Chain A
């Protein structure tokens, strides 16, 4: 493993994980179909006419929603849909961390090891899970169920240390609680995230990333703001603090008047 593989020169090539299953016989991801093509067209229609290339990132999420990672077939699919070359698609797909180059497990477990989470326990959590699962960064367990990675800051530092499963947050973890989450996943259970909705699989969450609403009954309402999110508000509420002088009927001045006033200053 090296520190900077994304920036050191070989992004344009289709690499190991992507060619490995080219000669697949029995197993491997299901092929992309006309239904996929239809969805890809839906994505393209979101963007202004002539600007369909904007659909590339969501379309790559769509590929992952069907195949679990960015396959050579998926690269060719996007290239064909958008009328660009496979090299152009591969150059984009290899740039972004969330586009996976190898088959990804149903459960992508991401542990934040950026500085704040790291010093508050994230480093230990990652090490614990790595040893327990017997896999390193961006590797999947032999049964294909769990992919482990450590990530950069997940924008939840007030809940540090955090980890995510398919990007849903598990807050204020320690090695034991993190291990429990992973063991429950191994047992076929779906532990409830601290914030956000109940878990769905990597492929299912990729569909949402491609831009579709979460169609699971009630999912959008699941998860409430945690106490750190509300900390300042709670104080304001307890001590009866509000901002004075707010009058929603305050008129909006005419720009011309304002310019006059500005000029006379």
Chain B
């Protein structure tokens, strides 16, 4: 394997992932030896408003996909004496995304510490981690960490003599992608079907149990202890002006070394590919997602696009969760879109008609095309379905579903036409079409 260039290596910023190299960092004693809970002590000595200001100054933006400024979100919480809640979104499930589970597995106390500091800042006495049900391996470590933290006085009443109380519950979901959407997550946490709520009002004023609530992603909350220790200026020494800090990029697919690469925000795919050992032999880059399947596909022409919130948006896609899925000339963009749309059809909660019906019908149309029975009108039909879906549902699941269809038709129309006009053999026989991904 060729060594990565100095340029690519200089993008690496091991901050949140650094402790992963210590295999026992999940244990409280090891975590403490590695400076764990020092940020908490420092934070509890500060005024909560100063912490909110610190997060604002750092420019930290939410790591769950939307990139909303975290400090601003925190400052929306009305300080009017009602109970406040902090809810951590650990429902990782956006296809391609695989950063939060390894983080909670290797370093669960960093999330617990981040939660205590964040709850102190927004004056919440109840916090919840809503973790994806399937993630039993990470939940096991988290539950253990929470129990250790209670026993050590980091959770419960009068934390470290500060007068601040916090209860933290680890709540496992039950298999529903939609619960990664913050209001669906809140409904699910309240014991209902996970269906999104109409916004506004936003969770900051009407969230869990109708109270002021901050919902943040795991990686966002885990950034807080480092910010408290190192300060906003240090944080801003990484990343770009409008997307400061480090970010865990998850690289999967046709590369030599798929995995987690924590880099400065704004790292390009060219550099990420170098870090990941390049494309696998015999494979040439054809299409990729910058941040999960809900972000429009990009191609080789975007190799030098800085992967930060604004640059990716300007290129017509989204940074999302920095889930970089790399596909090659051996992979079919039409099949990829088909398989993703099956996913959205399965995961649509059914509340909004455009999403429930649009995805259902797009599966049928894509299946028809891949079975060699498509027509030219099918392409218009797909785009029409996307038009009726985008912006017409309560939440972003519907919007996200259109990304892979519109972007694959934009960049790879010829692949669709090859199936439609019979130049390519059907990928699915009617038989297989039933088998693959049937739900």
Contact = CB atoms under 8 A, between A and B. Distances in A.
Interface in A103-159: 110, 113-116, 118-120, 123, 126-127, 130, 136-137, 150-159
B53 A253 contact: yes
B14 A243 contact: yes
Interface string B119-144: 00000001000001111110111011
Interface stretch (B156-164, B223-231, B383-391): B223-231
What is the interface of chain B mostly: helix, strand, loop, or mixed? Answer: mixed
Nearest to A91: B193
A56 to B, nearest CB: 4
B234 A250 contact: yes
Contacts of B102: 225, 229
A245 interface: yes
Interface residues of A, number: 104
Which of B39, B144, B259, B349: most chain A CB closer than 10 A? B259
Which of A48, A58, A116: most chain B CB closer than 10 A? A116
Contact of B360 (A4, A130, A211, A225): A4
A101 interface: no
B13 A153 contact: no
Interface in A61-102: 61, 82, 91-92, 95-99
Which of B12, B43, B229: most chain A CB closer than 10 A? B12
Interface string A191-233: 0010111000000010011111110000111011101111111
A1 B57 contact: no
Contacts of A258: 53, 56-57
Which of A126, A136, A213: most chain B CB closer than 10 A? A213
B189 interface: yes
B95 A153 contact: yes
Nearest to A138: B439
Interface residues of B, number: 123
A157 B323 contact: yes
Given A157-B96, A235-B4, A3 B438 contact: yes
Given A153-B93, A158-B98, A158-B259, A57 B136 contact: no
Given A99-B175, A113-B339, A156-B98, 14 more contacts: A3-B342, A4-B346, A96-B194, A97-B175, A126-B436, A136-B438, A153-B96, A160-B252, A225-B105, A232-B259, A236-B14, A246-B234, A250-B231, A253-B50
B343 interface: yes
A2 B439 contact: yes
B258 A160 contact: yes
B417 interface: no
Contact of B209 (A48, A118, A205, A250): A48
A252 B173 CA distance: 37
A251 B234 CA distance: 12
A1 B336 contact: no
A243 B143 contact: no
Interface string A1-23: 11111111001000000000000
B156 to A, nearest CB: 14
Given A7-B349, A98-B174, A248-B229, A92 B136 contact: no
Interface string B356-372: 10011001000000000
Nearest to B8: A235
Nearest to A96: B174
B81 interface: no
A24 interface: no
A57 B35 contact: no
A241 B188 contact: no
A57 B171 contact: yes
A190 interface: no
A7 B350 contact: yes
A257 B431 CA distance: 69
Given A8-B350, A213-B143, A92 B13 contact: no
Given A197-B140, A231-B257, A232-B275, A157 B325 contact: yes
A208 B139 contact: yes
A46 interface: yes
Given A213-B147, A229-B106, A241-B9, A224 B250 contact: no
Interface in A25-65: 46-48, 51, 53-58, 60-61
B402 interface: no
B170 interface: yes
A247 B260 contact: no
Contacts of A244: 237
Contacts of A174: none
Interface in A150-174: 150-160, 164, 166-169
Contacts of B434: 1
Given A4-B345, A250-B230, A232 B260 contact: yes
A215 to B, nearest CB: 11
